[in-house]
Each structure stands twice: as C-alpha cells, then as structure tokens.
Amino acid sequence: MTEEKEDKKKVAIPIEGEEKKKKKWYWGCGGCGCLGFILIVLIGGCVALFGTDEDDSDKKVDNKVINVKEEEKDKAKKQQEEKEKAELAKKEQEEKDKAEQAKKEQEEKEKAQQAEQDKKEAEQAKTEKACLNIKGNTSSSGEKIYHVPGGQFYDKTNPEQTFCTEGEAKSAGYRESKR
C-alpha cells in the first residue's frame, strides 16, 4: 500500500518549456481562435443579409395577409363605386322620366289649348257665316238693297257687301228687299 500511496503522492511537476508549448497550442498565435471568430461573424452576416427560411416564410405569410387585406379593401372600394354609379344612374333615369312626363303633360296642355282654340275658331266661323248671311247689293238705279236668307233674290244676288244683322245693313244705308 505504501507504493500506491507513494504513486498517488507523486505528482508530475511540469517543466517550464512544456507548459508554454501547451499554452501556445491552446491559444497559439490566435489563428484557430481567430478563424472560428471570423466564421461566426461571416455566418451571422449571411443570416442577417439573407435571413432564414423561417423569416422568409413569415414575410411571405405577412405579405399574403397584407395582400388579402388590400384586395378586400379594393373590392370594397369597387363595390362602393358601383353602388354610387348605380345610384347616380338611377337618379339620372328618374330625372329623365320626370322630364319626359313634364314634357308629355306640357304637350297635352298645348293640345288641349289648341283644341279649345280650334273650337272657338269654329264657333266664331259659324257665327261669322251666320253673320254673313245678309247680302248687300246696289241696284241698277243706284239704290242700296239687302237680301235676307229665304228671300226671292237671295240666291241670285252677288253681294257687294255682307252683314251680320239687319241693323248693320240699315246703318250702312241699305234698305230691305221687298221680295
């Protein structure tokens, strides 16, 4: 047992040169450490520049969501514009209908007025014809004579003047026919 104890007690004493070599090997000139550091920086830079597939998929999903929202907004705007156009067209059609109806009413009023005027003119013409039934003529002796309908010479007489009433004929200097 003594030997074992002695073995345990024996500790290798490092030599100064070996210890420096080991330290140099771990840290050395910094080549291996620097190389690792440079690799880490390069990988980090690439990830920062190009991102990961997960980031891209998130961006794509976000873009799709944004695009869907924009499309919905566009659809809503288009529907609103279509509604406004439809309302405007409806209003224009109503205005046209009102204008046409007003025009028809105006035409009907004008027709009614024209009919009334024609009726008045017809009555006036009848009155004038009735008035023009007394014929005035000058005889060969120069005497002024008027003839009434139903008289003997009424149909044969070519009037020089016509009268509505006998009073007008008498005031013009005519006398009534004897026959």
pLDDT digits 0-9 by tens, 87-130: 999 999 999 999 999 999 999 999 999 999 999 888 877 766 66
Q: Running DSSP on this structure, what letter comes out for residue 140? A: T
Q: How many CB atoms lie within 10 A of CB 174?
A: 22
Q: Running DSSP on this structure, what letter comes out for residue 149? A: T
Q: Which of 54-63, 144-153, 156-165 has the lowest mean pLDDT?
A: 54-63
Q: How far apart are CA 150 and CA 165, in angstroms?
A: 15
> Which amino acid type is present at position 20?
K
Q: How far apart are CA 170 and CA 131, in angstroms?
A: 15
Instruction: Round to the nearest angstrom and report the end-to-end CA distance of the chain.
Output: 195
63 versus 133: which is more confidently predicted? 133
Q: Are 144 and 138 in contact (CB under 8 A)?
A: yes
Q: How far apart are CA 177 and CA 7, in angstroms?
A: 188
Q: Which of 151, 145, 152, 138 has the alpha carbon at shortest distance from 169?
A: 145
Per-residue pLDDT band for 72 (boundaries 50, 70, 90) equals confident
Per-residue pLDDT band for 42 (boundaries 50, 70, 90) equals confident
Where in the chain are the domains?
55-123, 132-176
Q: What is the reported pLDDT for 164?
A: 84
Work out the percent of the chain whose per-residue pLDDT is above 90: 35
Q: What is the reported pLDDT for 41?
A: 81
- Segment 8-33 mean pLDDT: 55
Strand bridging mode 175-176 / 144-147? parallel
Q: What is the reported pLDDT for 99?
A: 95
pLDDT for 128-147, tens place per residue? 666 668 899 998 899 999 99
Q: Are 163 and 136 in contact (CB under 8 A)?
A: yes
Q: Are 164 and 136 in contact (CB under 8 A)?
A: no
Q: What is the reported pLDDT for 70?
A: 85
Q: What is the reported pLDDT for 57?
A: 56
